[in-house]
Amino acid sequence: MNKLFALKTPVTPTPVAKPVLFHAGHRYCINNPELALMKDASQDPQSGIIGAYRLDSHSAGSKPVDLTKQPAQCFVWDAGLLSPSVSACLQANSGQPPSFGQNRLNLHDAGLDGPEVRMQNDQPVLRISPRFDLEWATDAFPSQLGWVQVVESSRTVQFEDGESLVLLDTELAGSGPVLYLDGASDNLAVKPVCAFQQQGEKRRFGFTCEVTQIIPTGSDNKTVTSVSILEKYTCYFMQNAAPDDPEQHIWVPVHLPIVWAWSIRVQQRYDGVWDIFRKKLILPTTSTEAPALPHWQSNSVQCAATMDICSPC
């Protein structure tokens, strides 16, 4: 007579989550700066560490780790690039509460609103607005989410007599894209996206920003007939655990760069209304080719030409 035996189901052990010791944007001491490994890593941003990163409305750039200073210190700008060997040389902060993950920003959707011409203070203004559907989770540490845009731009007006004038040309900077500022009164390199978020919080929300160009009607007794814009933007969502403490924390990317572009020409119709006559749009798309850490040596206000603009009567 056959007997039935119950088979034992193997028990799969529950994986034990390991605490994360190093977070992007934080400063750490280097235990053994004499290692040849650290000498190589200190000069290579792809190791995940840098000596410093400073940004303002005029410039942004990073510096390599200075191993001659004692104690040697560095900033982690991308925790995902840290190798086990480099991590072994870093000293974890004893006062930092343990966490079991990294802060995350998920991009659910992105698009462009516009372009369109609207009247503002009796002046026609060309507008376009990138928009993003975001989910921001601060699992590892409290942080401020910020926004940076760099641009390669050419903006030109054409006059009735056939002549033209360049309003903005970022090639004048001679060092690649420049920081986009919304006018002379704008001096913030990093724009806050939302309120400071505490550790363990998660929220989903929409975020939009606006790019504008005032359409002048004339200059030096010459009538403007059209305005042409050709621009490519590279955008960065950044985070900082303590923006007011630059000695211990820096702004670092929390998402891949996002690229969008537009090429547009606006001119007056027969009835005098400004309208869009040609446009080509490239929707916001994540990019692995753009620099992961934004750098610039000028801004769009510095690259803009001075023009004595005439407003409509």
Which pLDDT value is given to residue 120? 87
Q: What is the pLDDT of residue 216?
A: 84
Residues 8-33, mean pLDDT to the nearest whole number: 73
User: How many whole angstroms separate alpha carbon 41 and alpha carbon 26?
Assistant: 17
What pLDDT shows up at residue 308? 44
Q: Alpha-carbon distance 106 to 17, whole Å?
A: 22
- Across 134-157, b (16+ Cβ under 10 Å) vs e yields bebbbebbebbbbbbbbbbbebbb
Give the chain's end-to-end CA distance (angstroms, integer).
107
Rounded Cα distance, 286 and 303, in Å: 27
pLDDT at 37: 58
Helix (H, G, I), strand (E, B) or coil at 3: coil
Report the pLDDT averaged over residues 107-132. 94
Cα-flanking dihedrals φ and ψ of residue 102, to 5°? Answer: -115, 160
pLDDT tens digits, one per residue of 33-45: 555 556 666 667 7
Nearest to 190 by CA among 103, 249, 116, 125: 249
Q: What is the pLDDT of residues 136-195, one digit of tens each?
A: 999 999 999 999 999 999 999 999 888 988 888 998 767 789 999 998 899 999 999 999
Residue 229: count of CB within 10 angstroms of its CB: 21
Residue 2 confidence (pLDDT) above 70: no
Amino acid letter, 153: S
Stretch 4-17: mean pLDDT? 54
For position 304, what pLDDT does the model report?
84
Q: Going along the chain, which residue ranges are E strands?
A: 27-30, 49-50, 52-55, 60-63, 73-76, 90-91, 104-120, 123-137, 144-159, 164-169, 178-179, 191-192, 202-208, 211-214, 218-219, 222-240, 252-253, 258-268, 274-286
Average pLDDT score over the chain: 87
Q: What is the pLDDT of residue 237?
A: 98
pLDDT at residue 173, rounded to an integer: 67
**Whether 62 contacts 77, CB under 8 Å:** yes
- Cα–Cα distance list, 29 to 69, 73, 83, 207, 310 (Å): 11, 4, 16, 36, 58
pLDDT, mean of residues 13-34: 76
3 band by pLDDT with thresholds 50, 70 and 90:
low
Beta bridge partners of 218: 223, 310
| Rounded distance between C-alpha atoms, residue 25 and residue 200, angstroms | 18
Domain segments of the chain: what residues?
27-91, 104-303
Statement: residue 310 has pLDDT above 60: no
Predicted pLDDT of residue 6: 53
* Mean pLDDT score, 188-217: 94
Mean pLDDT of 228-235: 96
Among 31, 70, 73, smallest CA distance to 50 is for 73
What is the mean predicted confidence (pLDDT) over 112-128? 92
C-alpha span between 190 and 185 (Å, rounded): 14
pLDDT for res 30: 87
Read off the pTM.
Answer: 0.88
For residue range 238-295, what is the model confidence (pLDDT) as tens digits?
Answer: 999 999 999 999 999 999 999 999 999 999 888 888 999 999 999 999 999 999 999 9
Mean pLDDT confidence for 102-108 = 96
